[in-house]
Amino acid sequence: MPQHHFWTYQDGDKRHKVHKQGANQLKRTNRKENNVTDQRQDPLSSSSQPERQDMFETPRSILNPDFSAVFTPIPTIPIPRAVNKSISPQSVDTEKIHKMVLDCIEKGMYSSATFFADKLATIRKNEPESILLLARCYFLSKQYRRAVHLLRLHDLLQPERSAQYRYLGALCLVECKEWEESLTVLGDEIESDKLTPDAESEPHLDSAMCLLRGKVYEALENRPKAKDWYMAALRCDVTCFEALENLAEKRMLNYNDEHKFLNELQFPADLQWLKLIYESKLQFTPGRSFSGSFSFVLTFLLFCSVNVANALGPSGLASNLDLMAGVAEHHYYRNEFRQAYSASKSIIDQDPFHHSVLPVYLCCLVELEMKSELFLTAHQLVDAYPTKAIAWFSVACYYYLIRKFDLARRYFSKCTNIDHQFAPAWFGFGNAFAAQEEGDQAMAAYRTGARLFEGQLFL
């Protein structure tokens, strides 16, 4: 049966219902009558003028509506019912959550570890161990100030608290470069030469706190106290290699002091191999107070390095890159640049970013005038470590080699600004001044290097 469409219209006080087709016909008729009336009233109007629209005319969209949109069915949205169930504390496995946090930390998923550690601390009513775990997650995700705020909120940085809370708080403050405040948290009331391990903590933690104090004092340019705390860290724990590395690479001890200090350390029977490596690291720096000629000292030190490598041969450590770097450095000190280059090049081929051998390798490239290799190495280091002093040191060495001393001085200066304790940059700075016969500035740079780094030979 055909569907009929009806429409309504208003005529005065009466409302009429007509068929849709009749309504359209009636509208066209009314429009024609209006046009005729307008032409009679306006004799100037022309038939060529466009048909005038009535401002009160009903739009065609209303006269011809699309009813399909009106009758489109609207889907009903189900309203969820309220859940009356509650989770009991016994149904939450806190040990499993703790393992999840540790697993995320091991995989480097620090954001996930922070999420679960936060929930674990809430479930366990903010107990100190859970707060410490959450603060560690903040530290790993580089939210240092948030970690400090959390520890302070729960009064875990007070002097009477365990050392593990204070160490983590001080570590975060060091990352924020709050040196004085970190010393306050660590505590500095114990004389470093009379330091004894804390009975309530492990030797490793005591050593770590001494190491951190040394770093803070080094940042404050108090080298004597930094040296004392580094030595104290090794007395607490001989496996604290970072303390020995700072003492050796930053030239804080002369040869006699190094030899005396190394004999004071107590190495267990199963760590005698570590003592041999420490000897090779410390004896890289010949002291001026050593009796005998300078060439004898260098020969003696090279002999020691070879002996250490031979002694460690059965253990499989003779081919270790750190020991090979020591041999390369000794060759460089004896002005045997070809041998030093060969030894350092073999290390660079295996590890292009071996930091301990890079200064010797770069200096050998300068001495042997190997411009192309130095140019390529400088580009690789700048791309890999744009914020490290060694990268810009390589750039400065290249400009020094091609005799653009102004640019060389600029990049040597940039090295010292990035790392004030980077010894090769100071001596390279002095060499660049000396190449342009600026003796006063050169001597100032040399004196700075000699004052900060005893026995350094990058000249």
Whether 285 has a pLDDT exceeding 80, the answer reads no
In order, the DSSP letters of 347-386 are HHHH-TT-TTTHHHHHHHHHHTT-HHHHHHHHHHHHHH-T
Q: How confident is the model at residue 138 (pLDDT cuts 50, 70, 90)?
A: very high
Per the structure, how many domains does the chain have?
2
The single-letter code of the amino acid at 87 is I
Residue 3 has pLDDT above 70, yes or no: no
Instruction: Say if CB 323 and CB 308 are below 8 A apart.
Output: yes
3-state secondary structure of 195: coil
Residue 390 lies in a domain: yes
In whole angstroms, what is the distance from residue 132 CA to residue 164 CA? 9
Residue 35, domain member (yes or no): yes
Q: What is the CATH number of the domain that holds 448?
A: 1.25.40.10
For residue 453, tell me if it sits in a domain.
yes
Question: CA–CA separation, 121 vs 133, rounded Å?
Answer: 8
Query: In sequence order, what DSSP letters do the residues of 400-453 get, joined into one string?
Result: HHTT-HHHHHHHHHHHHHH-TT-HHHHHHHHHHHHHTT-HHHHHHHHHHHHHHS
Model's pTM, two decimal places?
0.69
Does residue 456 sit within a domain? yes
Would residue 34 count as lying in a domain?
yes
In a domain, residue 340? The reply is no
Residue 386 located in a structural domain = yes
pLDDT tens per residue, range 346-393: 999 999 888 889 999 999 999 999 999 999 999 999 999 999 999 999
Q: pLDDT-based confidence at 23, cuts 50/70/90?
A: low
**Residue that the structure tokens 């070809």 belong to:** 338
Mean pLDDT of 85-104: 82
Residue 356 lies in a domain: no
Which domain, by its residues, includes 393? 369-459
Residue bearing the bigger pLDDT, 255 or 119: 119
